[in-house]
């Protein structure tokens, strides 16, 4: 039997031997004094990769988004954001709590985008009745979906025309870039830069598919990053010998971008393996996240299915909507194990695909 497989999230990866060696060898300083060479090198590397003047290393993606929103907006400003976006729904309302910045959430359409007409309609006139609309925040990938490049261009051009700043929650920007590069037959780094250049700021997670133990970067203009640095300090995110983790992130940028294509292929393979099970509706994955809905009476069985999977050494999350995420520590054998366990639960015999 293959080893247990953890499909809960791409955050669960362990640093590889190569990454640990890079961490152990990292030159260190005190990043609050600005002299940790490994942090500075990482910040320079990600800023240059994505085409920005500057970058700031932060402990988490949540803090990266918080620093971005508070650097773009003042008290009494608002940001337009999707209902399903992390920086509205999954960050404890931080921008409102710490920054007195009001969110203006809009429904995400099925493809993860915000309708252009709704964005335009949500922008408030300059009138004392209203919060000042200052920022548009998008997310790519969102729920594992790649926002179409043409849409990203249209939405960010609309925002610019209307005088709004533009922030991208690019926690999984490199998953988006790898998927887009596969469609376009181009290089993921070129696609990452193309997407990022539509925005005034971009946050990127190193601790998701890139496989580092912690850390994110916020990229933007020198001026924006200087403001974000103050906010990071207030939020308690200024670290000292942070070069240990910056070195892991830097290693990930050098070694773990192209391999995201393997995660995407395994997510597709998992989806194929679950095809033909009547109780399941499988959403074809675009990147490394697979959503599976239990349908009809099977909806009652999601907790039982997750328990069954856990007993079979397969971890996943979700209640009505099951979520399986592939990553650096998942291989083909792990995916087969998950497929076999799910098919056993629904008493479907055999494996459907080669």
Ligand X SMILES: *Cc1c(COP(=O)(O)O)cnc(C)c1O
Rule CB under 6 A: say whether 169 interacts with ligand X: yes
* Shortest Å, Cβ 281 to ligand X: 23
- The residue range among 43-51, 128-136, 204-212, 223-231 that interacts with ligand X, by the rule CB under 6 A, is 204-212
Element at 292 (helix H, strand E) = strand 289-294
Q: Which run of H or E residues covers position 334?
A: helix 332-345
Q: Is 209 in the site for ligand X (CB under 6 A)?
A: no
| Spatial separation of the C-alpha atoms in residues 340 and 312, rounded to whole Å | 10
Classify residue 20 by its DSSP letter: H
- Choice between 85 and 342, CB closer to ligand X: 85
Residue placing its CB nearer to ligand X in the complex, 60 or 165: 60
Q: Tokens for 60, please give them.
A: 């988490």
Binding mask 13-52 for ligand X (x = CB under 6 A): ----------------------------------------
Name the nearest CA neighbour of 231 among 74, 3, 48, 24. 74
**Nearest CB to ligand X, comparing residues 201 and 273:** 201
Nearest-approach distance from CB 73 to ligand X, in angstroms: 18
Q: What are phi and psi of 230, to 5 degrees?
A: -65, -40
Of residues 235 and 294, the one with the C-beta less far from ligand X:
235
Round to whole Å and give the CA distance between 119 and 87: 17
**Is the Cβ of residue 95 or residue 294 nearer to ligand X in the bound state?**
95
Enter the tokens of residue 296: 């009809």
Among 15, 26, 31, 61, binds ligand X (CB under 6 A): 61
Residue numbers 121-140 binding ligand X by CB under 6 A = 139
- Concatenated DSSP letters for 213-274? SS-EEEEE-HHHHHHHHHHHHHTT---SSTHHHHHHHHHHHHHSSTTHHHHHHHHHHHHHHT
Of residues 22, 171, 228, 266, which one binds ligand X by CB under 6 A?
171
Task: Select the residue interacting with ligand X from 86, 167, 232, 343 (CB under 6 A).
Answer: 86
352 neighbors 275 (Cβ within 8 angstroms): yes
- The answer to whether 148 and 111 have CB atoms below 8 angstroms apart is yes
Contact predicate 102/124, CB 8 Å: no
- The count of chain residues that interact with ligand X, using the rule CB under 6 A, is 12
Note whether 143 binds ligand X by CB under 6 A: no
Nearer to ligand X, 208 or 337 (CB): 208
Q: Does 245 bind ligand X (CB under 6 A)?
A: no
Q: By C-beta, is 70 or 294 nearer to ligand X?
A: 70
Rule CB under 6 A: say whether 62 interacts with ligand X: yes
Q: Report angle CA 35, 251, 90 to the nearest 5 degrees.
A: 85
Complex with ligand X: residue 218 or 257, whichever CB lies closer: 218
The residue count of the chain comes to 354
Q: How far is the CB of 169 from ligand X (least distance, A)?
A: 5
> In 3-state terms, what secondary structure has residue 150?
helix
DSSP state of 297: G
CB of 69 to ligand X, least distance (A): 12
Least distance in angstroms from the C-beta of 319 to ligand X: 19
Residues that bind ligand X (CB under 6 A): 60-62, 65, 86, 139, 169, 171, 205, 207-208, 216
């Amino acid at each position: 039997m293959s080893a247990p497989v953890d499909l809960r999230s791409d955050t669960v990866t362990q640093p590889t031997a190569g990454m640990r060696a890079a961490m152990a060898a990292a030159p260190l300083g005190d990043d609050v004094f600005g002299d940790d060479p490994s942090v500075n090198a990482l910040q320079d590397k990600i800023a240059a990769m994505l085409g920005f003047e500057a970058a700031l290393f932060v402990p988490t993606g949540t803090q990266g988004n918080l620093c971005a929103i508070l650097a773009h907006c003042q008290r009494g400003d608002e940001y337009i954001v999707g209902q399903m976006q992390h920086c509205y729904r999954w960050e404890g309302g931080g921008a409102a709590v710490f920054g007195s910045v009001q969110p203006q959430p809009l429904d995400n359409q099925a493809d993860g985008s915000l309708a252009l007409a709704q964005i335009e309609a949500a922008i408030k006139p300059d009138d004392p009745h209203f919060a000042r609309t200052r920022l548009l925040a998008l997310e790519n990938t969102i729920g594992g979906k790649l926002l179409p490049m043409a849409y990203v261009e249209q939405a960010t051009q609309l925002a610019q025309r209307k005088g709004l700043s533009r922030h991208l929650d690019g926690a999984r920007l490199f998953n988006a870039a790898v998927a887009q590069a596969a469609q376009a037959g181009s290089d993921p780094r070129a696609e990452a830069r193309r997407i990022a250049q539509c925005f005034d700021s971009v946050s990127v997670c190193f601790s998701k598919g890139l496989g580092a133990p912690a850390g994110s970067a916020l990229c933007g203009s020198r001026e924006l990053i200087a403001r974000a640095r103050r906010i990071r300090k207030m939020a308690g995110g200024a670290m000292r010998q942070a070069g240990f983790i910056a070195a892991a992130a830097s290693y990930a940028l050098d070694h773990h971008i192209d391999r995201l294509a393997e995660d995407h292929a395994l997510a597709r393979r998992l989806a194929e393996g679950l095809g033909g099970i009547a109780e399941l509706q499988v959403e074809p994955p675009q990147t490394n996240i697979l959503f599976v809905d239990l349908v009809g009476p099977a909806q009652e069985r999601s907790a039982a299915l997750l328990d069954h999977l856990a007993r079979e050494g397969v971890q996943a999350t979700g209640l009505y909507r099951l979520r399986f995420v592939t990553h650096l520590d998942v291989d083909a054998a792990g995916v087969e194990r998950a497929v076999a366990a799910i098919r056993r639960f629904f008493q479907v015999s055999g494996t459907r695909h080669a």
